[in-house]
Amino acid sequence: MSLDLAVIGGTGLYQFPGLEVTERVRPETPYGAPSGDIVIGTLAGKRVGFLARHGESHTIPPHRVNYRANVHALHALGARRVIGVNAVGGIRADMGPKVVVIPDQIIDYTHGRFTSFCDVDGAKVEHIDFSEPYTAPLRQLLLAAATRAGVAVVDGGCYGATQGPRLETRAEITRMQRDGSDLVGMTGMPEAALARELGMAYACMALVANWAAGCGDQAEISLDEIFANLAECTSQVPRIIQALLAAE
């Protein structure tokens, strides 16, 4: 039985509140094991799969996530739509802490990651069109769902994906600003591209945990503040997803 939707949770989202769990699976893939169990259950009468990107105890840093195994496992379970939930830093003035953003573009600054299912001997080489990295119809469904759920979100913006796990320098953020990045995070790529290679609809829900280095009025980034802001943002995620599914 296929999944109506898959959700990949980022930092701060390790379980999915409201999901009526029916099973937990951890399928092996040609690329190894996913980050943890894929928790399957029902939400708003729909069959949903949830995977904690960093593991349920946050033991996997962003540059060590097995993105290929995660995406492949969800696809093998029948997921054809994926919402990636990502903790990010805010660069643009209207994307400060506790803001939820549905970005529409991405710049990849990562390195050394397995970025494609083509990265194995004998695999078919796929040149995906990645002009629009997030699937427009799924983005629109998220935006409409947020409105119905009464959650304010920012429509659009460019996600700059960095290597991590360290946070960025002020100079790096200044460069990203010049490049057109509005947000900075560590897990946006290659997840989005891998989903595209498998023909899966993919959209991102970016939760702003803090101002990026040199942005806003903070002198120093506090991890305690990051997690407090994330807790507030994360509480909005199930409401938006439930509103999306309830309308279908």
Task: Output the six-digit token pair for 69.
Answer: 């195994």
DSSP β-bridge partners for residue 183 = 90, 159
Question: Strand, coil or helix: what is 66?
Answer: coil
- How much is the pLDDT for 184? 98
11 is in an annotated binding site: yes
Summarised one tens digit per residue, pLDDT across range 172-209 is 999 999 999 999 999 999 999 999 999 999 999 999 99
231 is in an annotated binding site: no
Q: Does residue 103 have a cis peptide bond before it, meaning omega lies within 30 degrees of 0?
A: no
**What are the extents of the domains in the chain?**
5-246
Q: What is the pTM of this model?
A: 0.94
CATH of domain 5-246: 3.40.50.1580
95 is in an annotated binding site: no
pLDDT of 218 > 80? The answer is no
Per-residue HEC secondary structure of 132-193 comes to: CCCCHHHHHHHHHHHHHHCCCEEECCEEEECCCCCCCCHHHHHHHHHHCCCEEECCCCCHHH
Looking at the chain, the whole-number percentage of residues with pLDDT higher than 70 is 99
Mean pLDDT of 24-45: 95
229 is in an annotated binding site: no
Give the separation between CA 96 and CA 171, rounded to whole angstroms: 19
Summarised one tens digit per residue, pLDDT across range 93-145 is 999 999 999 999 999 999 999 999 998 787 788 899 999 999 999 999 999 99
210 is in an annotated binding site: yes
Q: Nearest-5° angle of CA 106, CA 111, CA 117?
A: 80
